[in-house]
Chain A
Amino acid sequence: MAYSFPEEVLEHVFSFLSLARDRNAVSLVCKSWYEIERWCRHRIFVGNCYAVSPEIVIRRFPELRAVEMKGKPHFADFNLVPEGWGAYAYPWIAAMAEAYPFLEEIKLKRMVVTDESLELISKSYKNFKVLVLTSCEGFTTDGLASIAANCRHLRELDLRESEVEDLSGHWLSHFPDSCTSLVSLNMSCLGSEVSFSSLERLVARSPNLRTLRLNRAVPLEKLANLVRHAPQLVELGTGAYSSEIRSDTFSSLADAFSACKQLKALSGFWDVVPSYLPAVYSVCSGITSLNLSYAAIPSSDLVKLISQCQNLQRLWVLDYIEDSGLEALAASCKDLQELRVFPSDPFGAEPNVSLTEQGLVSVSEGCPKLESVLYFCRQMSNAALIAIARNRPNFIRFRLCIIEPQAADYLTLEPLDAGFGAIVENCKELRRLSMSGLLTDRVFKYIGTHAKKLEMLSIAFAGESDLGLHHVLSGCDSLRKLEIRDCPFGDKAVLANAAKLDTMRSLWMSSCSVSFGACKLLAQKMPRLNVEVIDERGPPDSRPESCVVERVYVYRTVASRQRLDMPDFVWTLDEDSSMRYS
């Protein structure tokens, strides 16, 4: 019989473990540790809402205070997942409302959240503090009104990038005068104008407010008033940064900003009038994060602002910055860690700005701490990629989107295999990679050989045969998420690597060459994988088994493989090995 520490002691020891990974390890030691740990876990993260069921979670962890969850696969961001596929938050919210009266935090990403869910949240938890809805949809401003009205101790309301049906701006006025606990408010995705006086009073009575992200409808003339009420702000998202040029508006704004000694992050800047940018110059030296990705202004104006921000660590910007602007960035911002350059005209056939691979090369040369890149451009060369890889072996995230699918090296007309090969070979800590351009199976061989820490890989219009996919699945030891579209990868690679899929969170393949027969076979072989065939052409068994499916989404799960909320274009394997839909 084993004697161990009393439960209370173990519980106290476990309370120092915050990482889920550590707690998971602890719970595997023995049954009693499993029991003790599960009673004192307060925070969970569910990477795929269908990997587990609310019942299972609630049964195991009775004392949760914070839940974070993700729903749809990443490609849903680009409309590759049909409407109505799933990821409904309501079943979780309803189950948790009963089980966790002391729940404080809910963070959801890419899930469908209804007003009903929001109302339930607002009424079920007495101590509710944090609501973060990232890229969610399905709710209206009425739902927000419930949250505002009923959550007495609300600290964070963050709607980043969600699609909200904006019925009116009136929801904000539902915050009672007694609510003074706000720390973070992000309403930047909303369209309607809120009552400015309500907003102003809310800001004025929230002494702990650190993050305020306004929406486009808040006019520049009123920004100074708000900022004046919150000089303690750490993160500010402006509204439209546009107004008739008046010196009193300018000086009022500049004064207000100069009082913000803690400001570290700026965003917003819709409809920028460059003449007003100098109003923020007084805070620039403290700024570490700048999001100018809505600011359509010439490179010279962007550079004037950026070169004031010597401590900049993160920059999001439009390609109006051009190569010359990126060169200036490389010269002034030596602490830069993350750069994202978005396309101003993604669907135009001709380039509208002078932004090429050279901009990225300059930044990789000049910024020694650069580790995370998202770059849209229209031309690339192996030489540039090789130079970038050699300059920056410390890349963790490298996402390159060459706008034309299957664009070759513009200098040599060769595939970009060597370039991306250099990236994975040199950047040994690379965790995330998105590729584009002309790519053969060779690049996947490089990836399988070198990208041992790679966790997420996105592939589009690349490869030549199953060998490509096989290299990735058999070589990338740390792979968790693989998303593929429009590649000639099919049955052989998937079936030969079926066991690998059990070690990953998910595999997405759309417009590839996976047959219905292979999907069935995979589902039969791997009982703990859910193989969802997502096909809008009607039942897959009305076509020959060799027929290729439109999309297949494979994920590991301990919940039932027949989720109850499947729409009529999703098929999964039933117990009797036939593909069924709900």
Chain B
Amino acid sequence: METSVATELRLGLPGRDESEAKITSVSNKRSSSEMDDSCDPQQESVAPAQKAQVVGWPPVRSYRKNILQKKAESSSDGSAMFVKVSMDGAPYLRKIDLKFYMNYLDLLKALQNMFKCTIGVYSEREGYDGSEFAPTYEDKDGDWMLVGDVPWEMFVTSCKRMRIMKGSEARGLGCL
């Protein structure tokens, strides 16, 4: 067998044209607006570049993909949920679409990226005690609340705007 099979020697990476075409990454760098209003409902990530998807790769079962996907279907209007985000000391505000995130973890990571600050980890007792900054929001009743106290879905529907406060100021808002 060894003698009759030609072992192709290559200098470059193995691979074939067909498959390479399929897996070429497509870099969709974001335009200056943070959010593309005609966004692809399949996008799950905040990251600027999305890959052209290969069928069945990575090998994740579809029910696992669906579980983690934002339940955009349940909020059936499909429209975005933009809220203004201010940060103490920052010269101007930003706007984000809350429906773009799947959970608090995603949101906080995105905020930290956006404002180049550290927010730290939430705990029920101490809020964000010890962190440089603490995220807060104004809810439907006009009250300022600490981000993280209520279930994510409830937060998304009741949040009107957000303010990232200096940690020292936020202490008074922690659950007692």
Is there contact, CB below 8 Å, between A296 and B102? yes
Given known A297-B105, A345-B44, A349-B47, contact A163–B63 (CB-CB < 8 A): yes
Query: A467-478 vs B: 1/0 string, CB under 8 Å?
Result: 100100010000
Contact of A492 among B5, B23, B61, B149 (CB under 8 A): B5
> Taking the complex as formed, is B37 at the interface, i.e. its CB lies under 8 A from any CB of chain A?
no
Q: Which residues of A contact B77 (CB under 8 A)?
A: none
Q: Which of A31-39, A229-237, A241-249 contacts B (4 or more CB under 8 A)?
A: A241-249
Distance between Cα atoms of A161 and B60 in the complex (Å): 13
Give the contact stretch, choosing among A64-72, A356-364, A457-465.
Answer: A457-465
Q: Does B6 contact A (CB under 8 A)?
A: yes
Most buried by A among B23, B47, B57, B68: B57
Of the residues B5, B13, B18, B121, contact of A470 by C-beta under 8 Å: B5
The answer to whether B63 touches A161 (Cβ under 8 A) is yes
Select B151's contact among A242, A343, A408, A485, beta carbons within 8 Å: A242
A274 — which chain B residues lie within 8 A by C-beta? 122, 124
Q: Which residues of B contact A405 (CB under 8 A)?
A: 19, 23, 54, 57
Work out how many contacts link A and B, with CB atoms closer than 8 A. Answer: 140
Q: With A79-B56, A189-B63, A346-B65 in contact, do A244 and B18 touch (Cβ < 8 Å)?
A: no
* Residues from chain B with Cβ under 8 Å of A346 in the complex: 58, 60, 65
A465-B6 contact given A270-B67, A297-B105, A347-B44, CB 8 Å threshold: yes
**In the complex, what's the smallest C-beta–C-beta distance from A445 to chain B, in angstroms?**
11
Whether A77 lies near B59 (C-beta < 8 A) is yes
* B contact patch SS: loop
Residue tally, chain B, CB below 8 Å to A:
53
Q: Is the CB of A273 within 8 A of B151?
A: yes
Interface residue from A297, A349, A488 paired with B16 (Cβ < 8 Å): A488
Within 8 A of A (CB), among B72-106: 102-103, 105-106
List chain A residues, Cβ under 8 A from B48: 349-350
What is the chain B residue whose CB lies nearest that of A162? B63
A463 surroundings in chain B (CB, below 8 A): 14
CB atoms of A78 and B68 under 8 A apart: no
**Is the Cβ of B55 less than 8 Å from the Cβ of A79?**
yes
Check if A128 is an interface residue, CB within 8 A of chain B.
no
Give the most central of B15, B50, B61: most A CB within 10 Å: B15
Given the interface contacts A273-B151, A296-B68, does A347 sit within 8 Å of B53 by beta carbon? yes
* Proximity string of chain A (148-187) to chain B, C-beta cutoff 8 Å, 1 when within and 0 when not: 0000000000000101000000000000000000000000
Residues A352 and B151 in contact in the complex (CB < 8 Å), given A342-B64, A405-B57, A488-B14: no
Q: How far is the CA of A78 from the CA of B149 in the complex (A)?
A: 37
Task: Check if B45 sits within 8 Å of A348, measured CB to CB.
Answer: yes
Contact assessment for A244 and B51 in the assembled complex, using a CB-CB cutoff below 8 Å = no
B149 pairs with A441, CB closer than 8 A: no
B1 within 8 A of A: yes
Extra pairs beyond A78-B61, A488-B15 (19, CB < 8 Å):
A77-B61, A78-B57, A79-B62, A242-B152, A244-B154, A245-B124, A270-B67, A300-B121, A342-B60, A349-B49, A352-B109, A405-B19, A440-B14, A464-B7, A464-B10, A464-B14, A474-B1, A488-B14, A511-B18
A–B complex contacts, Cβ < 8 Å, 9 sampled: A75-B56, A271-B152, A294-B68, A296-B105, A403-B58, A408-B13, A438-B14, A440-B14, A511-B18
Query: Which 5 A-B residue pairs are closest in the complex by CB-CB distance?
Result: A78-B56, A348-B45, A349-B49, A275-B124, A350-B47
Seen from chain B, the residues whose Cβ lies within 8 Å of a Cβ on chain A are 1-2, 4-8, 10, 13-16, 18-19, 23, 25, 27, 44-45, 47-51, 53-65, 67-68, 102-103, 105-106, 109, 121-122, 124, 149-154
